[in-house]
Structure 1
Amino acid sequence: MGHGTRSTGPTRTLMPRTPKTQEALDARDALASALSRAGIQLPAMDVRTPWADDGEVRYALVHLGVCSAPVALMLADVILRGIAA
């Protein structure tokens, strides 16, 4: 697993709190909440921070991990229903 925290389980503190990492953590939590409301749970969602040569965190990524085919189909269905609304 990369540097970061997961939406479930114990919080890891390997990632420095910067505005960029906080933005990614907030986005991960908002997405996890929205997916949960739609009845979808991804097995792993975390935030990863690529490190620059100088050790600074320039951006952070919300890593969605992998999911099963049924979960992918559920995601597609929720997205398409949202587009049609």
Structure 2
Amino acid sequence: MDDTQDAPDYDIGPAIDALRAALTAHGIALPSLGVDPLTLAGWTIRPPLVALGNCTAQTARRLAEVLRSAAGG
């Protein structure tokens, strides 16, 4: 049995890279996308969080449009 599936994922770099690539494929950039430093510094049993950061209203509308389309609406 593989116990790593139940372990918290502290290496969130690949998840951030994958999200950045997916957003870029749709023409979306979140400049502040990265690791949330406060949750990274805490080193609790919880893994660090991804900080999505701030974006313009135009970027938020584009993101909502892509998500709606992906959901079939």
TM-score bracket relative to the smaller structure: 0.7 to 0.9
Q: Distance in 1 between matches of 2:48 and 2:63?
A: 23
Identity %: 35
Give the TM-score of the pair, scaled to structure 2. 0.74
Question: Is it true that 1:80 corresponds to 2:68 in the alignment?
Answer: yes
Deviation per residue, 1:18-77 (Å, 9 max, x gap): x6221x2111111000000001111111112151xxxx3431100011000000000000
Look up the SS of the partner of 1:84 in the other structure.
Answer: coil
Question: What is the aligned partner in structure 2 of residue 21 from structure 1?
Answer: 10
Q: Which amino acid aligns with 1:21?
A: Y
Gaps of 5+ in 2: 1-7
Q: Give the ranges of 4+ consecutive aligned residues of structure 1 lying more than 6 Å apart after TM superposition.
A: none
Which of the pair is proportionally richer in helix? 2
TM-score calculated relative to the size of structure 1: 0.65
Structure 1 equivalent of residue 35 of structure 2: 47
> What is the identity, as a one-letter code, of the residue corresponding to 2:50?
V
| Conserved 8 A contact 1:44-1:64 | yes
C-alpha distance in structure 1 between counterparts of 2:10 and 2:34, whole Å: 11
Does residue 62 of the first structure (1) align with residue 14 of the second (2)?
no
Which sections of structure 1, spanning at least 5 residues, go unmatched? Answer: 1-18
